[in-house]
Structure 1
Amino acid sequence: MTITRRTFGLGAAGALIAPVAAPFVRRASAAGPTIRIGVVNSMSGSLAAYAQEGQPAFEYMIRKINAEGGIRSKGGAQIELVMADDTSQPARTAAEARRLITEEKVQLLTGTILSAQMLALTPVLDELKVPTLSVWAGGAHSSYMFTLGYPYDRGYAQTMHDFVVSLRDDGKFPIKTAVMSYSNYEAGQQVNRFLTEKLKASNIEIIGEAALDIRAQDQTAAMVRIRSLKPDVVVGLVTPRDGILLHQARYNLNYHGSIFCGGTGGYSDLSLWKDLGQEIGKAVLTRNLFGMTGFSAGAKIESMQKIIAELRDVAKLERIGQGAIQYAQAARVLQQVLENAVSLDSDALLNAFKKLDIPYGDPNLYIAKPQGLQFAEDRLLKDGSAMFIQWLPDQDQQVVFPKIFAQAAPRPKS
C-alpha cells in the first residue's frame, strides 16, 4: 500500500477510498449500541498530506477499540465513524461539520482541522454545541473544541526557541542572527509573532523576514531574500507543501550558508523525500537542517516504539510518520473521553475532555510529552513541547532535542 497526496489506503483492510466530498460511514462490526463520531478530514487539496497519512491509522485504532470490547462504560458501545472530505477548504469544513451534526446526528467531531479550518468551524460549534477534537490546530477558539496540535506560543514557538538557544549555548553553534521564514497563514503568523519575541529576548537579532505565500508555486524569491541576508539561522512554521518548494529553491540556488530549523511537516514529514527526490533530499535535508516533530521512529519512548511496531506489523501501514501517530493518539483520547463521560450529552463529554489524563509512561501515550497529555484551560495541551530531528542520508531521522529523547547530538554540515 502506498499513500500519496492523491490516494490513500485504509489500514489493514486494504480498501482504497476515493477522496470524495460526500460522507461515507464505517459501521460498527457488531450489533448493539453505537456512538457516532463525525470525521472531517482534508483528504484532497493542498493540506491532504496530514490526513492521507493519518486516517488509515485512525481507522485501524477505532477498529481495534471496537474489537476489544468497545466503550465498556457504555455497555460495550461500538464507535461508528461518519467521514467527510473538506478538500482543504475552510468554508467546506464548516459546511461538512454542520451536515454531520444536523443530518448524520454525530455525537462528537474530529479530523485534521488545521488552524484555518478551526477558525471557520468555530461559529458552527458555538451554535450547535458539539464537542470536537482537532488533530492538528494550534488554537481552539470555540469552547467546544480541544486540540492535539501544538499551541502557537508554548508549543511551536517555545520549542523552536528552546532548540535554537540550545544549538547556540550547548552545541556552540555560532548563532547571533535570524531570519523568520514561515508559511503565511493563521498558524504561521501566530507562531512567528511569539517566536520573534522569544528569540529577541534571548539576544538573537532578527534581521529580516521571508514569509512564504501558501498559494505560490515556487519559493525562489523567499530563498533569494534569505541568501541576501545571510542569517545564522532561518526559523519558522512551514507546511509540507511550502517546505518542499523552499527546499527545492535552496537546492537550485545551492545555498548552505544558514542553519534551517522549523516545524513541523515542512521540515520533518516523511513525504519530503518522495516529493523532493533522493538527490535533492540528500543535498538539503541532511545539511544544516533540523525539523520539529512530535514523532520520530528512533525516539527513546517505549510506548511510541510499540505503536510504531503495531501499525507496521499488524495494521500493515507502509507510511508511519507523525501524521499516523498523531491520529492514533486521537483515537485513544476519544476512547478515554467516551469511557469517562457520565453520559453522551454535550456537557458530559466536555467535562470528560477537561479531565482527560494520559500520564507519561502510560502505554496509550504515543506522542512525546514528558508531562503527559492533559488539556489546559484554553483547551490546548498543557505540555505543548515537541522534539527536533536531523535527517540521515538513508532517510532515517535522529532525535537531537530534548535530551530526554535524544539519540545523537545535532551536527553542522557546511
Structure 2
Amino acid sequence: MLAATALLATTALSGLTFATGTARAEDEIRIGVIYPLTGAAASTGVELKAAAELAAAIVNKEIPAPAGLVAGVGMPHMKGAKIKLVFGDHQGNPQVGATEAERLITSEKVTALTGAYFSNVTATASQVAERYGVPFLNGESSSATLTQRKFKWFFRTTPHDDLFVTNFFTFLNDMEKKTGEQLRSVGLFNENTLWGNETTKLQTKLSEEQKFTIAEKILYPAKTTQMTSEVQRLKAANPAVIMQSSYLGDAILSMKTYKELGFLPKMLLANDAGFNDSEFLKTMGKDGEYIISREVWALDQAERNPLIKQVNDLMRERSGVNFNGNSARAFTGIAVLADAIDRAGSTKPEDIRKALQETNIPASGLIMPWKGVKFDEHGQNELGQGIIVQVQGGQYVTVWPFDVATKPVVYPMPAWDKR
C-alpha cells in the first residue's frame, strides 16, 4: 500500500521536467487551488479566486510588484518559471473537496495545493495531499485541529480559532473595564460543521474558565433555510452578547430573522467568514451596521503598513472590490507558497516542504497586520495575530486592540429603527 501510494505520488508530479531539481524557464509551476466556486458560498469563492489570481499575476510580473512584498516575484531561483493556478470547485462539500484534491494531483499534475476556506473541506483535501506527499498551504481555514493532526505536508498561515476565541474574551474583559458594564451573559450561535462545532467547544471552555454565563447554546444546521425557532430561543434567553459563526448565506439569514423578530443583543461578535464577505454589506445595508467581528486584515491598517493600500488598490482595480479578511488571507497563502517554491529552487515536494519549514517572512513583507510568517513544528504560523473590527458607515474599522484601533467601539448596538 505504501509503495503504491509513493508510486502514485511520483506519477502525480511527473508533469514537470527536472534536470537537477530545478525548473526550466519554459516550465509552468502548477499550483492547485480549491475553493467553493459554486453553491451557497460561490460569491466568497469568486473573491478568493480573484485574490489568488492577483498574487499569481504579481509573482509572474504581469503587473508591477509593490516594493517590499515577499512573494517570490519573478521566481529568480526557478529561472523565471511562471506560476499556473489550476482551480478546483469543492461546492462546500468535504467529499467533493477530497475528490478535487485527488484530481488536481493525479490528472493536473500540480506541484502543491492551497485552499479550501471551509475548514471541513480543508480537512479532507489535505488528507489527500498528505497521502500523496504533496505540500498543502492553507491560507484561510481556522479550525484549531487542522494543525494538531501531526501531518508532514500541511502548513497554515492564518491564525486559528484558539487565538480568535481567546481574543473575544479578552476584548469583552477590556470592554467591561472601559464601559463599566457587565457583559457576562453570552449566547453561542454557530453552524454545525467542523468549524462551528470546534468554535463552540472553545467558547464553552473559555466561558467556564473566565466566569461568563452561557445563556443559550445553539448549533444550527449548515445551509439552513430558516432560523425562526433558533432566534426565538436566543430572544427568550436575552444574552448581552451573541457569539456567532456563520458562512455568508446563514449570516444574512440570521440578521434578517433578528430584525423580523425584533431581537438585538447589546453586541454581536462574529467569527469572521460570512459577516466579512463583501456580499454581506451589499445585501444588508444599514442592517449590517455595528456588527463586531474578529479579523486578520483591515484597510484602515494601511496607515501603519503602506503595502496594505498598495496591494488593495491592485485588487480593487482588477476585481472591483476591496480585500476582506478572507481574500487577503488567500492572497497571502499564494504569496507565501510562491516564495517557498522560489527559495527551494525546485518543484520537488520534499524541497518545497523544507523551504516552507524554513520560512521566516518579516511583518514588513506582508499585507497582514501580523508579526510575520514562521511555521512551528506542526505547520502553524506562530507569528499570526488577530484584530477586531466593527462595521461603521459601511466600512470595517479596527476597534481592538485599543492601541491600534482607528475608531472607538459603538456600544451598545443602536436599535433597528435608530439607524
TM range (shorter): 0.7 to 0.9
> What do the CA deviations read for 1:177-215 (whole angstroms, capped 9, x no partner)?
111111111011112212222232222122220222213
Aligned with 1:182: secondary structure? strand
Change (3 A) 1:171 1:387: farther
| Contact kept in structure 2, 1:264 and 1:292, CA below 8 Å | yes
The corresponding residue for 1:32 is 26
The corresponding residue for 1:207 is 215
Aligned with 2:137: secondary structure? strand
Q: CA deviation at 1:262?
A: 1.8
The corresponding residue for 1:50 is 44
Is 1:145 the equivalent of 2:154? yes
The corresponding residue for 2:366 is 365
- TM-score, scaled to structure 1: 0.84
Matches within 5 A, 1:364-383: 364-369=365-370, 371-383=371-383
The corresponding residue for 1:297 is 299
The corresponding residue for 2:356 is 353
Equivalents in 2 of 1:194, 1:222: separation in Å?
21
One-letter identity of the residue aligned with 1:33? D
If each structure's helix is expressed as a fraction of its own residues, which one has the higher value? 2
Q: Which structure is higher in RCO with an 8 Å CA cutoff and minimum separation 6?
A: 2
Equivalents in 1 of 2:265, 2:123: separation in Å?
37
Equivalents in 1 of 2:59, 2:189: separation in Å?
41
> What do the CA deviations read for 1:364-409 (whole angstroms, capped 9, x no partner)?
311121x2222222222214432211212x3122210113431112
Equivalents in 2 of 1:31, 1:372: separation in Å?
30
Change (3 A) 1:342 1:71: closer
Is 1:79 the equivalent of 2:91? no
> What do the CA deviations read for 1:223-243 (whole angstroms, capped 9, x no partner)?
111110111111142222221
The corresponding residue for 1:129 is 133
Matches within 5 A, 1:178-197: 178-197=186-205
| Contact kept in structure 2, 1:160 and 1:262, CA below 8 Å | no
The corresponding residue for 1:64 is 58
- Match for 2:327 among 300, 306, 324? 324
Change (3 A) 1:44 1:149: farther
Aligned with 2:372: secondary structure? coil
Change (3 A) 1:238 1:316: closer
One-letter identity of the residue aligned with 1:267? F
Change (3 A) 1:244 1:134: same
Equivalents in 2 of 1:165, 1:268: separation in Å?
24
Q: Which runs of 5+ in 2 are unaligned?
A: 1-23, 65-72, 415-419
> What do the CA deviations read for 1:50-104 (whole angstroms, capped 9, x no partner)?
3211211211221221127631111111112222222222111111111111122
Aligned with 1:167: secondary structure? helix
Equivalents in 2 of 1:251, 1:343: separation in Å?
55
The corresponding residue for 1:26 is none
Aligned with 1:206: secondary structure? strand
How many correspondences in the alignment?
373
One-letter identity of the residue aligned with 2:368? I
Change (3 A) 1:133 1:208: same
| Contact kept in structure 2, 1:192 and 1:236, CA below 8 Å | no
Q: Which runs of 5+ in 1 are unaligned?
A: 1-29
> What do the CA deviations read for 1:245-293 (whole angstroms, capped 9, x no partner)?
11111111121243211210233332112233x3xxx14x324x31122
Equivalents in 2 of 1:264, 1:186: separation in Å?
15
Equivalents in 1 of 2:271, 2:395: separation in Å?
17
- Match for 2:266 among 258, 261, 275? 258
One-letter identity of the residue aligned with 1:366? I
| Contact kept in structure 1, 2:357 and 2:379, CA below 8 Å | yes
Worse-matched range after superposition: 237-246 or 140-149 = 140-149
The alignment's C-alpha RMSD in Å is 2.1
The corresponding residue for 2:98 is 94
Matches within 5 A, 1:242-253: 242-253=250-261
- TM-score, scaled to structure 2: 0.83
